[in-house]
Chain A
Amino acid sequence: MIADLSLANDFGQILDAFWRGSLGTSSALFSGTLVRAIPLTIVGVGVSLAFRAGVFNIGGEGQLLLGAVAATVVGLLLPNKVGAAGIILTLSAGALAGAAWAGIAAVLRNRFGVLEVISTIMLNFVAANLVSYLVRGPLQEPTHTYPQTDLISAAARLPRLWSETRLHAGILIAICLSIASWWFLTRTAAGFRVRAVGASPSAAGISGLVDASSVTARALLVSGALAGLAGSIEVTGVTYALYENLSPGYGFSAIAVAVLARLHPLAVLGTALLIATLETGALGMQRDAGVPSVVASVLEAMAILVVIGIGGRTGASWRWRKRRAHAGAEA
């Protein structure tokens, strides 16, 4: 009996820690969870676009890091008095760098038939090591004490939405991108080409006269640009400097975000918030209740498995699941 009670007690304490770490206090919500949901949303939207086109971009993490590097370089070089143009320049640099990093995989895919799943994963490692090198070498802060860069110019920083919190203007960008991507996929001819190529490259090519390889290459580039943008937003909105482990695996969690959202850009807003809540809540559990934060990873994985399981029964249409061999749908 006593053991049971104490367990129940512990359980309540753990839930409380989770709640206070994620949504329960305004500082957790506005400075932790929502801030974390921003890169998850933006990379998640990019992953959704690529997956919709049938390109499995697993390299969001690397593209995000390259975006962060580019934003840091521009941010360090910018003079303090350039105004809003500074922000735009910095973010654009991040997006371009992310697109370029994804572009390597796009070229490998279209020229040499290298699977983007492999190349983008590999490029993640290259990007992580590149960051390690830069923050210990060419970009290290002037005193050469810490493995990080100097702080970027004030002109390159995103404004905060509320002064007491860390919530920055990036959340508006994330919401806009999610809506814009949904509009693009459902309303524009180019978006419909993306969906058609993802659903059936042969039908898109033969019946629609669509150049499938150029559509997939562009989807991969845009997906990389979004991840790069997320990296630059992280630098200009949160860290103001580049260092190792700048991203706690945003690029990977974003794949979970996209899959949970069934590749729907609007649903990504919700699933990004869910995953961010799980992650910040788990950190709270670790901090205040001593529960290992890997529990969050387990929960994330379970959520994805459940969604994939449900998808399997209702037959959602991603190319992951090959069209079932329908033996004689006709008689």
Chain B
Amino acid sequence: MSTEKPERASPTLELRGVVKRFGAVTALDAVDLTVERGSVHALLGENGAGKSTLMRVAYGLTAPDSGSIRLFGQDRTGGGRPFSVRDAVRAGVGMVHQHMSLVPSLSVVENLVLGGTGLFRPGDAEALLDRVSGESGLSIRRRVLARDLSIVEQQRLEILKALARQARLLILDEPTAVLAPSEVDELLRWIRAFAAGGGSVVLVTHKLREALAVADDVTVLRRGRVVFVGRATASSEQSLAHAIFPEGTRESSSFPVPSVGDVVLQADALDVIDARGVRRIRSASFQLRRREIVGVAAVEGSGHRDLLLALAGRQPVGGGTLRLPQRVGLIPADRERDGLIPEFTLTENLALHALGARRGLMPWRGLAQRMTELLKQFNVVAPSASVRARSLSGGNQQRIVVGRELEQEVDLVVADNPTRGLDLQATEFVHARLRDAAARGAAVVVHSSDLDEVLALASRILVVFDGQVKEVAVDPHLVGRAMLGAA
């Protein structure tokens, strides 16, 4: 580690010629990245472009094969010892992962100081929380367990954790993927304020609009290489989209609204209770018909998750009546926890569908053939049906889930955030499949945290707010207001 004095204006983070190979795959190929002080730097790219790997290098989680790392003007590449997470944290780097890393059974304060040294003094820890929370303007409930926090609060706590360790460079990996629109605005405003106070932020994202709205600089990665660097003010959504996908993004074509068919799902005064016995949906009445796509719009914590699971027959009904069709396809929100078993092979994951009702012997040979067929049909990049699901990228995993659920004729499709974390092409693909399922006669219910996505897909919108379900016209303004409970 060098002892040279950092110059005043030296950048927060300088990565030079970073190369990282995983086996035969070159994840990062001589990547440069410079994050200036007091700036927000958006890092864009499709799935597998190398964004996360690059950030893992900057945070000391992944050792690069070659290249240099400078933080706040000091060389941290390390002579004998590789740059570690401990070094990164000490130097003032904080990272908030896409999947939160809180300990659910510990309190907010305990989570805040987790990983610190010395004695744990509750008083000191609370004082620290107050100070960091006050300085940053991020408020949070203090005396609750992390598992009882909403997604937004969990994310705030992750940021507070980093700030408590005096982070001056925050790496946020897809922070808006889990947030509702109003929450996104709040976070973006906070990011600007943090930068205005002299901090630096790397924002890893898929969303061009967000990147342009908040970032000073933009870097686009494609297949492990930097294909675009520039000021955000000098970039447009179109130029960035072109950098990410040189073949050009396809406009979502306007499609004819099909004539809807008969009712496949009928809810009357439906109540839904969650695993803890709490009533999440109260007295909902609606119908779903064949050949229609119904969007469910809601901010986090409104009870829509439970509604979707109940519609898919996965959660008990607490009251009222719910008439469900026989054949239901479900695309759950958390594919790695609920949609797939990562350690199982693709064929085994296909066999998971309707496993509860299966009797006798497993027809493995037939399943393997169907899976092989499905890989072709759904353009999944996988060597064979017998590889583990874990070895696939997120986009390909999602294709497997979607393919499994839509492979056979279904009467109802329930999709919760079906394109979360996917790149544009994979997103287009999933959308096309959902439309296709509707065209073939299924009723499709889809929820997305991205309101634009719901609006783009749906011919009808159900808004869930605080356990109440009501139908709202397909109008961004009206839907947005209804999601926040405004009349």
Query: Which residues of A does B touch, CB under 8 Å?
Result: 186-189, 191-193, 195-196, 199-200, 202-211, 317, 323, 325-331
Contact = CB atoms under 8 A, between A and B. Distances in A.
B374 interface: no
A186 B365 CA distance: 13
B50 interface: yes
A272 to B, nearest CB: 26
A206 to B, nearest CB: 4
B361 A207 contact: no
A210 B354 CA distance: 8
B311 interface: no
Contacts of B204: 328, 331
Nearest to B358: A189
Contacts of B221: 331
B332 A331 contact: no
A328 B56 contact: yes
11 contacts: A189-B355, A200-B342, A203-B339, A204-B352, A205-B314, A207-B338, A208-B355, A328-B55, A328-B98, A330-B98, A331-B54
A80 to B, nearest CB: 42
A203 B340 contact: yes
B348 interface: yes
A262 to B, nearest CB: 13
B356 A331 contact: no
Contacts of B360: 188-189
A84 B356 CA distance: 38
Nearest to B49: A331
A323 B355 CA distance: 23
Nearest to B51: A331
Given A327-B56, A331-B50, 9 more contacts: A188-B360, A189-B362, A192-B348, A192-B355, A196-B344, A196-B352, A208-B356, A328-B55, A328-B173
Contact of B357 (A203, A204, A205, A209): A209
A210 B332 contact: no
A214 B97 CA distance: 35
B361 A204 contact: no
Interface of B: 45, 47-56, 61, 95, 97-99, 101, 173, 204, 221, 309, 313-314, 330, 332, 337-344, 348, 351-362, 364, 393-395, 401, 421
Contacts, number: 120
Given A199-B341, A327-B97, A328-B55, A206 B362 contact: no
Contacts of A204: 341, 352, 355
Contacts of A210: 355-356
Given A204-B352, A328-B55, A188 B362 contact: yes
A327 B55 CA distance: 10
A14 to B, nearest CB: 43
Given A187-B362, A330-B52, A331-B54, A207 B339 contact: yes
Contact of A203 (B54, B98, B338): B338
Given A199-B344, A200-B337, A206 B314 contact: yes
B355 A328 contact: no
A186 B52 CA distance: 37
Nearest to B421: A330
A317 B53 CA distance: 25
B309 A206 contact: yes
Contact of A325 (B101, B313, B314, B330): B101
B140 to A, nearest CB: 22
A203 to B, nearest CB: 5
Closest 8 CB pairs of A and B: A331-B52, A328-B52, A331-B51, A208-B355, A209-B356, A317-B343, A189-B358, A206-B338
B55 A207 contact: no
A189 B52 contact: no
A323 B388 CA distance: 14
Given A203-B337, A203-B341, A187 B353 contact: no
A197 to B, nearest CB: 10
Contacts of B48: 330-331
Contact of A189 (B50, B338, B341, B359): B359
Contact of B337 (A202, A208, A331): A202
A328 B45 CA distance: 14
B343 A199 contact: yes
Contacts of A331: 45, 47-55, 204, 221
Contacts of A330: 47-48, 52, 98, 393-395, 421
Which of B173, B342, B351, B354 has the largest count of A CB atoms less than 10 A from its CB?
Answer: B342
B228 to A, nearest CB: 16
Nearest to B96: A327
Which of A188, A199, A200, A210 has the largest count of B CB atoms less than 10 A from its CB?
Answer: A200
A188 B173 CA distance: 42
Which of A200, A206, A331 has the largest count of B CB atoms less than 10 A from its CB?
Answer: A331
A325 B99 contact: yes
B355 A327 contact: no
A202 B394 contact: no
A208 B53 contact: no
Which of B47, B356, B401 has the largest count of A CB atoms less than 10 A from its CB?
Answer: B356
Nearest to A207: B352
Contacts of A195: 344
B314 A193 contact: no
Nearest to A318: B343
